[in-house]
Amino acid sequence: HFPALETLLVDNCDVLELTEGYEDQNSNMRLKVLTIVSLPHLVTLPHWIQGSVNTLQYLSISSCNNLVALPQCLSSMNCLKTICITGCPNIMSLPNDIYRLNTLERLEIDGYPELLRKSQQEVGESSHTHNTTDEPDEVEEELE
């Protein structure tokens, strides 16, 4: 729908359903930055994120209390450099083969010591873990 869109920020939308109506569509999005904040109805990330498998570099998810899992397609995102997760208490694990992401430079998991410990074991020493997140404007500058 927006093939040139590179940055998407969805913030504090109590009734927004990101997955509704797009389940069967194969999107050719070219997102580089996806930030999702305070979506109480979000249980899984939308299927259309797969359309950015070759372009997504930064993924930040925060304050999504009902989010229970990250999609397996994250492990196929060959440009993904940063994953930030904060305030998502129901996420108990990362995709099984997330360690295959050769481009992953930073994995930030704030407030979940067990998930952080598991992710460090899965991703290994090559990635850095932090307890802080960059703002989208700073990330855009880094990507340019």
What residue ranges do the domains of the chain occupy?
A: 7-11+27-143
Over residues 17-39, the mean pLDDT reads: 75
Across 3-12, 48-57, 103-112, least confident range: 103-112
Alpha-carbon distances of 45 from 50, 99, 140, 142, rounded to whole Å: 10, 19, 22, 25
Report whether pLDDT(6) > 50: yes
**Per-residue confidence band for 24, with pLDDT thresholds at 50, 70 and 90:** very low
Per-residue model confidence (pLDDT) at position 28: 74
User: 104 is written with which tokens?
Assistant: 């992953």
pLDDT, average across residues 85-102:
88
DSSP 63: S
58 phi and psi, to 5 degrees?
A: -140, 125
Matching residue, tokens 């994250």: 74
pLDDT-derived band of residue 127, with 50, 70 and 90 as boundaries? very low
Instruction: Give the percent of the chain with pLDDT over 70.
Output: 71
